[in-house]
Structure formats: structure tokens, C-alpha cells
Amino acid sequence: MSQFFRIVSRVLPAHLPAFVTPETITFIFRCIDENQAVEKIISSIDVDGKTVSLTLVWLLGQKLIKIAEGQEEEAPLIITDSASDIPEDLIKKKNILVVPLTVTMNGNDYRDGIDVTPTEFYRLLESSKNFPSTSPPTVDDFHRIFLENIGKRDILGIFISRGMSKTVDIARQAVRSNFNSYLTERRATPGTNKKMKIELIDSRQVSMGAALLVLEAADRIAEGWPVELVKYHIEELVSQVQVYFMVDNLNYLARGGRIGRGMAMFGNLFGLKPILGMAEGGVDAKSRTIGGRWGQRRLIDYMKQHMGNEGKSLRIGICHANAAQKAMAVQKRIEEVFPGQQQIVSSFGPTVGAHIGPGAVGVAWLPIPEV
């Protein structure tokens, strides 16, 4: 089945965002009046599809339109990879499917989150003589998941930055190689929209940075948004996610080749704590402090500098590498500075944990859009 909108109000605010034009709104209202389905509105040759999608998201946020009620269609499936480090309770609550990456240590392969937990991983890491490696899911892994689900619902995938893993590229390859099989499966399923959609997004983030985008998408899906609009919505938010983390032991950065062993020995001797962050889809050095407490304060300083006095609501993620007490301390500081905000606490998995080592702690945040 297709999805439709209903108009709540035609009274527009006095000031419109730069990407919203009266002409586009008029076009959308006319399409809704004609009872056109979402995919037909977006794919119209009369107006640019991205402009229409962003305008639809804005209209939903302004509560000028809403998803029509009574549409019995199974909600799109949200897929991510285990590098997003989403806590298990939220995975179940939000109906998220997690595809595991594989970590190789001491000649053994472990599926992240299935064969090895974060606690077990850090125990193995401390005793490992060789630097662990991670590998993405295979084309066959994604093909199996897509084929099992596309018959009855659309799919939205949000994955680790392609600058750090080939996961999103492999997922796209699975779609290209098996598109006809998925289309046949959809057309053979009664009562479904025969125009299937598999939308895949490069989050340009890792760990809690990606998790915040996945959780935002899950909330919009729960509100009944069609997968096309959720895709455009999330892609607009990618650049707004901020991620910073503090490394406790420099030896692991040295083992991964990010710094020299001499620098690691010097830094550990004087208690230097590097602050790393995500930039352009990869990890970048931001600053360094002396001592863990100063490092934790520096993480909060980055939040204050970025948010200023805007007073926006935030999604906040806190992640740690076998350092629950540090995570609790960061959580307490955040609550003091940004009271009443949503906070999620989780553990760094192997993808990030192998490089930063035990004792690290990080924070990510995303201003909550007004939708």
C-alpha cells in the first residue's frame, strides 16, 4: 500500500526557511488535495525531488500536514551495523536490526555483539599480542537480510562511515546485484506497494554518532513517516552530529599506527590524554589534556562551545571502553550543564575500542529537530 498525507492547515509562518518556496508548498498542497501518494509527489518531474522531500519534512515539523491515518502497511525496517554501539534494550524497543561486523584477534574471528561482548573484547585485547582487525558484513549477509524483509516492507540502512569501513558500499553492492530478486519478492507479496524502496545512508560517523542518527530515524518511522522522507531527514542531520572521545592509554594508538611508540611512552609518563573527534567521516585529533578529570571536562567544554546558549533539546550519547565509572562521571557533568536532556550510555565495541583501548570515554550529541 502507498502512504498519503492530509493537510492540517494552509496558514504558513511569516518567515520560511531558505529551501522552502511558496511555489513548492502550493505544488505539495495540490498533490495532497488530489490524493496523490507520497512516492508520486516526490518523483514528480515538475519539481526537484530533494526540494519536495525537504519541504515535506518541514511541513510535518510545522504540523501543517500529517500522515493520513488508517494506512495498514508494515513499518519500514531500520538496519544498522554493530559499530553503532546501540544498547541492546533500545535495539529491541525501537525494532532495529543490527548486522555484526567481525573482529579478528589471535587468529580467531568473533561476530561483534554475538560471539564477543565489549567486556570480553577488552579482556582479549589486553592479552593479545597482535593488533585486532575488523571486517564488514558480506554481500551474502546483506542479501539474506534484504530478501527476507523486502517482500513486506521497505528498508532503511544507516551505517558506519565509509571512511572507516566498506559496510555501506557492500550493502549497496548487494542491492545492485540482486535488485530483480527483491522486486520479484515484493511483487509476489499480496497487499504491498509494488514499488519497493531500499535506502542506504553513509552516516559519516561511528559508535554513538551513528547511533543517534539511527534512533532519530526509528522515532520518525514510528510516527509513520515514509522511508523516502526519513532518508532525506537523516542526510540533513549527518553534519550536525558531534563526536568527541578521550583516550586513556596511548599504547593502543601506537599499536594501531596512529602515533609513534616513543610518543606513547612520553604521553603515558606525563598523563597526557588525547581528545579525538570525528571530522569528514574519519577520526581527527582535536586537543590533549593532562589527567582524566581534565579530559572529561574538556569533552563538556566542546559541547558548550558548540551549543552556546541556544537552549535546544539534545540527543546525547555517552560511550566508554570498559570504564563505566568514567561514563557515570561524564553523565553527571552533562546533567549539570545540560539538565533534562536525553542521555544514552553504551560501550565502545571492537571497531573503535581496538584503537583507543580500555579506559576511554566519549560523548556524542545531536540537536533534536523540531518535527
What CATH number is given to the structural domain containing 274? 3.30.1180.10
Rounded to whole angstroms, how far apart are CA atoms 318 and 116?
Answer: 21
Rounded to whole angstroms, how far apart are CA atoms 329 and 196?
Answer: 46
Rounded to whole angstroms, how far apart are CA atoms 147 and 185?
Answer: 7
Q: With 70 as the cut, is the pLDDT of residue 291 above it?
A: no
Q: With 80 as the cut, is the pLDDT of residue 310 above it?
A: no
pLDDT at 259: 44
Identify whether residues 306 and 157 lie together within a single domain.
no
Strand partners, 66: 6
Identify whether residues 208 and 82 lie together within a single domain.
yes
Out of 183, 205, 235, pick the residue that ends a domain: 235
pTM of the predicted model as reported, rounded to 2 decimal places: 0.87
What's the DSSP call for residue 352? H
Strand partners, 242: 365
Identify whether residues 155 and 198 lie together within a single domain.
yes
Q: Residue 200: enclosing H or E segment and its boundaries?
A: strand 198-202
Identify whether residues 145 and 269 lie together within a single domain.
no
Range of the domain at 32: 5-67
Of the pLDDT bands very low, low, confident and very high (cuts 50, 70, 90), residue 190 is confident
- The edge-to-edge listing of strands for the beta sheet with 133-135 is 108-111, 102-105, 133-135
pLDDT at 33: 93
Q: How many domains does the chain contain in total?
A: 3
CA neighbor of 168 nearest in space, from 198, 133, 195: 198
- Residue 22 domain-assigned? yes
Of the pLDDT bands very low, low, confident and very high (cuts 50, 70, 90), residue 272 is low
Identify whether residues 270 and 347 lie together within a single domain.
yes
- Residue 355 domain-assigned? yes
Out of 47, 67, 87, pick the residue that ends a domain: 67
Q: With 80 as the cut, is the pLDDT of residue 150 above it?
A: yes
The tens digit of pLDDT for each residue in 206-251 reads: 999 999 999 999 999 998 888 989 999 999 999 999 999 887 766 6
pLDDT at 266: 39
Domain at 222, CATH number: 3.40.50.10440
- Residue 112 domain-assigned? no
Identify whether residues 245 and 292 lie together within a single domain.
yes
Identify whether residues 248 and 323 lie together within a single domain.
yes
